[in-house]
Structure 1
Amino acid sequence: MWKQPWGYKEGYVICGGLFLTGLSLQAAVGGFHLETLAYPINLLAAVVFFLLLLLLHFFRRKFAALRWLSSYQAAISSISSLALLTLVMGLVKQLPSYMHEGDAWPGFAQMLSNWAFAFLFVWFIAVLGMTVFLRLFSAQWKDIPFVLNHLGLLIALTGAVLGSADIQQLEMNTLVGRPQWMATNERGDVLELPLAIELHEFSIEEYPPKLMLIDNETGDMLPKGKPDHFLVEDSAAVGKLLDWDVAVITKLPMAAGVPTGDTLKYVEFHSVGATMALYIRVSHRKTGETHEGWVSCGNYMFPYKAMRLNEKVSLVMPEPEPKRFYSDVTVYTESGKTIREVIEVNKPVQVDGWKIYQLGYDESKGRWSDVSVFQLVRDPWLPVVYTGILMMIAGALALFVFQKRKEGVHDKLD
């Protein structure tokens, strides 16, 4: 071993040495904080690193070790070692960088802050970079697919890892009619943003109400383990729940509960705080037992109303499930932009490098919520990652085109 030319053994010994060095450093000082690599440190580090690789490339003819860096033995040993740690990263639950629990040795719960991962990643990028420089300066047309694929991979990986220090994921709570420019990060720190969001209206579209049977003693839905339900899609719906026939007599989507003696009835109430209420008739198919009355899911203003059928079973209406919820907002930016948009789940709005997602609302108020919760994400290195991915796609297409041309030349010769 260690006799030129080097092979796989030397490659895996180097990777093993880097891994053990990283684990030792992890045990001695703990993991490093990604925040220390935030802009402009990450950009400066990338520029210096690749300039150093470029300098080493020009000395590769003088040193066999530098020539070995662009060999497939170095590539396979480095990528397989890094892939093994990446597999561990996928199997171990990753904790946010601010949680000290993930910093405990060996630190695999915060892999991007782990010294062993950092050393192996830098080693792999060095091998990949030397390989790209070798083909890049050969200036042969046949190397175009190879250069595009490997340079794209180099750019995408570098951008993804270094850019992770600059990713911001913030949460903003907005009230109707009140512009908000403050948000909180994962630590709970309140930050002032270069943009403000004014909520004009929050809206929810709900699925039709459901009726279910519950056990009076345990509160479990029946049948236990696989509860049945009756979806009330119109005002004259008829259905079945176990041995009970259910008929909807009156459906009030906008209702208010009114006490009448020892009971509660519902009337139409077209205002804030209205709830869903159904007047139903329930009959037992075997005994003929019949019940009639109001059932409501209730809300923050009115209590829920169940129908007790017997000592064991009651009929209830669960809270309606949201089908779609969205916010009508205006976004103001420091650059002077004023943008009126509707933000909903899976349909974010992008403004000045920020992506604004609909995250939640005041669930205690349901459809009458005057609060909308947004997630704001900023990843300034994302264009770098996309550039690398597009280069890899271009490399795959170029490989296909070059292969077709080669096959065409062989066909002509034949």
Structure 2
Amino acid sequence: MSENNYKVQRNLWENPWGYVESFFIGFGLLVTGFFLEMFVASDTPFTISYPYNIVFLVGYIIILFILYKWFSTTQLIRWLTKVPASISSIVLVTLLVMIMGIIPQIPSESNFINNLGLNHITSNWAFLLIVFQFLTCLGLISIKRILQFKWSNFGFILNHVGLFLALVSGMLGTGDLQRLSINVYEGEPSWIATDAKKNKVELPFAFYLNDFVIEEYHPKLALVDNKTGSIAHNNGKNLYLVNEGETYYFQNFEVTINKFLTSAGRIGDQYFPVNELGSPPAASITVKNTKNDSIQNAWISSGSFRYPYESLKISEEYSVVMTIPEVKKFSSNIDILTKEGERISTVLEVNKPFKFKGYKIYQLSYDEKMGKWSNLSVLELVKDPWLPVIYIGIFMMIAGAIYMFWVGNKITKN
């Protein structure tokens, strides 16, 4: 046998470490993490906030630099800068993310899931340890390429440093993320918000609600089974918008909308337009039974918190009802009052936040029982000071990808 054909079989844990050792270490970190989750972890997720997260980040980067600069020849550091260590950590992170997609991230009835923390993967010790290994690989590789800088590696550096910043900022920023809600009533200034644990938080500014406005769709007509109270099937057409002058058909019934009032009050046997608190929509309808040509005329209403609903019983089996109007849009006309005496006016709508002093202010909810007559607006305030750093990391990755594409295209042409 020639020397070229002779192959020496490498023993486990022999230098250099490969994929087998890498996955062995990774699974060891998973087991350690699940052990910590079962016997050490508390109900409160582990987070660090300002200024300790800044100190941790700076210290972590300094330690990575020292490890590469003076300990790069050791077996462990050499392994962390190689492909097997990165690939194994990526595979295991992906595995945990898949588990997160399969198992609902809410309290579970299964003790097994609760004890292993599989219902809160992102704060699970196993996940944190694997991600920490991946970040260490990423940081050491980035430092290696930076210290051995070449323009041909510029895109690689942008990609890896950008990913490192985005991941580290996303994890360390959890402790500084602030999500609050505040109830604001018309004509009253409000500055005391509450967090997820119902703790009170005093804001550095106040809200003053000038007006809360709800726009609604027209209510709908429905045929209801008198025995079950459920909406009857009508060949897939069992709900119709209430529009004046329209005629609809429910089985053998012909229903015509004679008159529709968006805000009405009953006077005697009729409804008239009124503009009072709790005045519901109402409609005058004519129902014709096409089997026996009998005709009924009546007013129906969806009702409100103040007035009961009114329906029309058209047979022993069915009644015609008007559903509660669905909300099309709701918004708050508010003033933001600062301690310096400023007064900033804005209109908040759903999914259209207003940015102020590091907060994103969202229109969240209202008093649903009162409906469009609600004088309460519930706002949500979100403050994430690490978000710009995450964006910087993402833009660096995009720039690195563009640079690598440009260089690769240039090399191909040459």
Q: Is TM (by shorter chain) over 0.5? A: yes
Match of 2:195 among 167, 185, 190: 185
Residue 34 (structure 1) shift: 3.8
Aligned to 1:274: 279
Letter in 1 for 2:138: L
Aligned to 1:146: 156
Aligned to 1:173: 183
Match of 2:254 among 245, 248, 260: 245
| 1:226-305 matches, cutoff 5 A | 226=236, 228-233=238-243, 235-258=244-267, 260=268, 264-305=269-310
Letter in 2 for 1:158: V
Aligned to 2:368: 363
Distance across 1 between alignment mates of 2:341 and 2:86: 49
Match of 2:38 among 21, 27, 30: 27
Aligned to 1:401: 406
Distance across 1 between alignment mates of 2:411 and 2:145: 20
Aligned to 2:7: none
* Distance 1:35-1:404 versus aligned 2 partners, 3 A rule: same
Please state if 1:12 is matched with 2:23. yes
Distance across 2 between alignment mates of 1:354 and 1:6: 48
Distance across 2 between alignment mates of 1:302 and 1:23: 57
Please state if 1:40 is matched with 2:51. yes
Residue 59 (structure 1) shift: 2.1
Distance across 1 between alignment mates of 2:64 and 2:45: 23
Percent of pairs with identical residues: 37
3-state DSSP class of the match of 2:210? Answer: strand
Q: Deviations over 1:258-296 (max 9, x none)?
A: 3x3xxx531111233221110110111222121111010
Letter in 1 for 2:381: L
Distance across 2 between alignment mates of 1:10 and 1:44: 32
| 1:349-388 matches, cutoff 5 A | 349-388=354-393
Letter in 1 for 2:412: E
Please state if 1:164 is matched with 2:174. yes
Distance across 2 between alignment mates of 1:225 and 1:181: 53
3-state DSSP class of the match of 1:58? Answer: helix
Aligned to 2:325: 320
Aligned to 2:335: 330
Asked if 2 retains the 8 angstrom alpha-carbon contact of 1:103 and 1:110, the reply is no
Residue 64 (structure 1) shift: 3.3
Moved more, 317-326 or 16-25: 16-25
Distance across 2 between alignment mates of 1:133 and 1:163: 23
Distance across 2 between alignment mates of 1:169 and 1:331: 18
3-state DSSP class of the match of 2:119? Answer: helix
Letter in 2 for 1:63: T
Residue 32 (structure 1) shift: 7.3
Aligned to 1:412: none
Distance across 2 between alignment mates of 1:275 and 1:231: 16
Letter in 2 for 1:9: V
3-state DSSP class of the match of 2:285? Answer: strand
Distance across 1 between alignment mates of 2:224 and 2:339: 54
Moved more, 36-45 or 364-373: 36-45
Provide TM-score, normalisation by structure 1: 0.92
* Distance 1:168-1:145 versus aligned 2 partners, 3 A rule: same
Asked if 2 retains the 8 angstrom alpha-carbon contact of 1:32 and 1:113, the reply is no
Distance across 2 between alignment mates of 1:131 and 1:32: 35
3-state DSSP class of the match of 1:295? Answer: strand
Provide TM-score, normalisation by structure 2: 0.92
Residue 401 (structure 1) shift: 1.1
3-state DSSP class of the match of 1:164? Answer: helix
Letter in 2 for 1:55: I
Match of 1:75 among 66, 86, 91: 86
Asked if 1 retains the 8 angstrom alpha-carbon contact of 2:300 and 2:311, the reply is yes
Please state if 1:123 is matched with 2:133. yes
Distance across 2 between alignment mates of 1:93 and 1:207: 34
Aligned to 2:3: none
* Distance 1:223-1:211 versus aligned 2 partners, 3 A rule: same
Aligned to 2:70: 59
3-state DSSP class of the match of 2:362? Answer: strand
Residue 354 (structure 1) shift: 0.9
Distance across 2 between alignment mates of 1:225 and 1:106: 49
Asked if 2 retains the 8 angstrom alpha-carbon contact of 1:34 and 1:165, the reply is no
Residue 55 (structure 1) shift: 0.6
Please state if 1:307 is matched with 2:318. no
Q: Deviations over 1:343-367 (max 9, x none)?
A: 1111111111111111111111211
Distance across 2 between alignment mates of 1:126 and 1:346: 37
Moved more, 242-251 or 334-343: 334-343
Gaps of 5+ in 1: 410-414
Letter in 2 for 1:404: N
3-state DSSP class of the match of 2:259? Answer: strand
Distance across 2 between alignment mates of 1:336 and 1:54: 49
Distance across 2 between alignment mates of 1:380 and 1:62: 38
* Distance 1:200-1:383 versus aligned 2 partners, 3 A rule: same
Asked if 1 retains the 8 angstrom alpha-carbon contact of 2:47 and 2:172, the reply is no
Letter in 1 for 2:67: L
Distance across 1 between alignment mates of 2:261 and 2:405: 63
Residue 23 (structure 1) shift: 1.6
Gaps of 5+ in 2: 1-11
Please state if 1:134 is matched with 2:144. yes
Residue 335 (structure 1) shift: 6.4
